[in-house]
Each structure stands twice: as structure tokens, then as C-alpha cells.
Amino acid sequence: MNDLSNRLVVGCVIIITGIAITAALIYTRAIMVPFVVSVFLYSALSSVISWFQNRLKVRKIYAAIFTGALVLLCSSLIIYYITTSFQNFFLGADIYKSRLSDFIRWLGEVSTNWNIEFNEKSVQKMIDDIPVFSMVRGVGGNIIVFVGNTLLVTVFVLFMVAGEGIEKARNRLVIEIKQRVSRYVSKKFMVSIATGLFVGVVLWVGNVELAIMFAVLTILLNFIPNIGSIISTLLPVPVLLLKFGFAWQTWVILGLISTVQFVIGNLVEPKILGESMDLHPVTVLMSLMFWALVWGVAGLFLAVPILSLIHISEPTRPY
């Protein structure tokens, strides 16, 4: 009976601890999400620092300085191009509204030819009543939040990189775990960035608005297994329809994006990351649900990387 009581006490303590940790994660969401993103970026940048050391034969402190400068440059370019893309998109709001009206008229003609009931005037009135200015304010607020988080992540990463430059030797097991995490994160980022670059180039060559933003979202969504690639493929569809309608350009661009998502997701990524990183679908689903509850949309992006980090951080067991 005493043993049963001890088990109940331990079980209650574990449950209460789990609830307390979850509440703390929710409460500290504004600072923890940028910090966790910074940890993953820093893990990827550790490989860059090692490359500077091994290939360019420079001291670790100088490799860290070069990497920090690279982080500042990339962050500045991302912020500049995304804000510029949104500015150009909003400046052409009237043009897109006119294209949407033309698209509605085209749907009305098609529905008439096929004897399908379609109230064109009602739909057109709904479009005219769209609160454009309030939507612009909302998106503008989200852009400000994004820029602020990007700056915060940049500061965190710079401090971590600076610490890398003066870091001394540590425990062998800690160094091994760090190297394994760094290899995985750097490979995952490499695959994601390659996918995002291809999508961005295709949209840019097609003269599609918000190409840079869609490229960045593709990189982020690549961390969500299966559904991430589907969402990133469908995101540009409304902009493509407003620009080209159902013309051949829309289908060519969608075909190219879908092809690269399939090839990289099913052929390239498993070969680079290896089969050892496979995670059980139920485990992935539970991780997505938990982190979405804790950190919202950001938790969906970070759920699988966190799960993978925990998985590969387990000490290697002796044979």
C-alpha cells in the first residue's frame, strides 16, 4: 500500500511539473520562440564557422566574426525584400481588385454556359465591401512583429556566434551531441533553403508579386512534415490567379513548384538526412499538437525540429 502511495505521489508530481512547464512555455512565448529559432540557426552556423576554419585556415574568432557579418547581411536583405514586396503589393491593390472583378465576370460567363446558378452581382458586392484598409493595417502590424522578431533572433544569434569564437574545450559527450545536432540542423536548413530558393526564382522569373515572401515561407514550412510542402505549394495560387487567371503561366509555375517539392521531399531529403532520422507519425502528430497549443503557428514550425533535436541528442548507447 505504501508503494502504491509513493507511485501516486510521483505520478502527481510529474503531472503538476508538466503543467507548470507548459504554462511557463506559454507565458514566455514572446521570448522563447525567437530564442529557440536562434538555437537552430546557431546550430546550422556552427558548420559555417567550421568551414571558415578548415577551408580558409582562419582562427576561430575571425571565423565567428565573418559568420556574424553574414548573419547581419542576410537578416537585412530578408527584412528589406519582404517589406518592399508588401509595399509594392499594397500599391497595386486597385489593380488586383480590378483583376478579381474580371475573374468574377469570367466565372459568371462560365456558369451561364454550364447552366450553373451563380449570383455575380452578389459576389461583386462582397468584393466591393472588403475592408481593404483594415486588412492592410492588420498585415502591417504582422510585418512589424515579424521584423521585430527577426531583429531579436539576429541579436541572439550574434551573441551565440560571439560565444563560439571564445569557446573553450568542454565535455566530450556534450561536444559530440552538439556536433550531431549541428550536422542535422545544417543539412535540414540546406535542403529547406534550396527548396525556398527554387520557389523564389520560379516566382521571380514569372514576375509574381511577393516572390521573396513565398520563398521564405517555403523554407519555414519545409520543417512541417508532409502538409508543409502542400501548404507552401498552394500559398501562391491566389496571387497567380489574380495575375494570370487560368492561363498557361499559372499551370507551368505550379507544375514547377510541385515537381521540386516532390523531388526534394521524397528523393533528396531522405538521402541527405538518412533513414536514421525517421520519426513515428504518431509521435510527430503529438508533437505538432502540443507545440501548436503552446506556441501557436510558430509551434507548428518548431515542433518537428525540437523533436528531432531531442531524438539525436540522446547519448549513444554502448554495444
Higher pLDDT, 234 or 114: 234
- Of 4-13, 94-103, 186-195, 215-224, least confident by mean pLDDT is 94-103
> Which of the four pLDDT bands, split at 50, 70 and 90, describes residue 317?
very low
pLDDT at 276 over 50: no
- The reported pLDDT for the residue numbered 7 is 79
pLDDT at 141 over 80: no
Q: Which residues contact 247 (CB under 8 A, 6 or more apart)?
A: none
223 contacts 302 by C-beta, under 8 angstroms? yes
pLDDT at 318 over 60: no
The b-or-e profile of 200-227 (16+ CB within 10 A means b, else e) is: bebbeebebbbbbbbbbbbbbbbbbeee
Question: Could you report the per-residue pLDDT of 28-68, keeping only the tens digit for each?
Answer: 888 888 888 888 788 777 777 777 777 777 777 777 778 77
- The reported pLDDT for the residue numbered 90 is 66
- The reported pLDDT for the residue numbered 315 is 54
% of the chain residues with pLDDT over 90: 2
290 contacts 306 by C-beta, under 8 angstroms? no
Measured from the Cβ of residue 309, the count of other Cβ atoms closer than 10 Å reads 19
pLDDT at 183 over 60: yes
276 residue type, one letter? S
Q: Which three cell numbers stand for residue 9?
A: 505521489
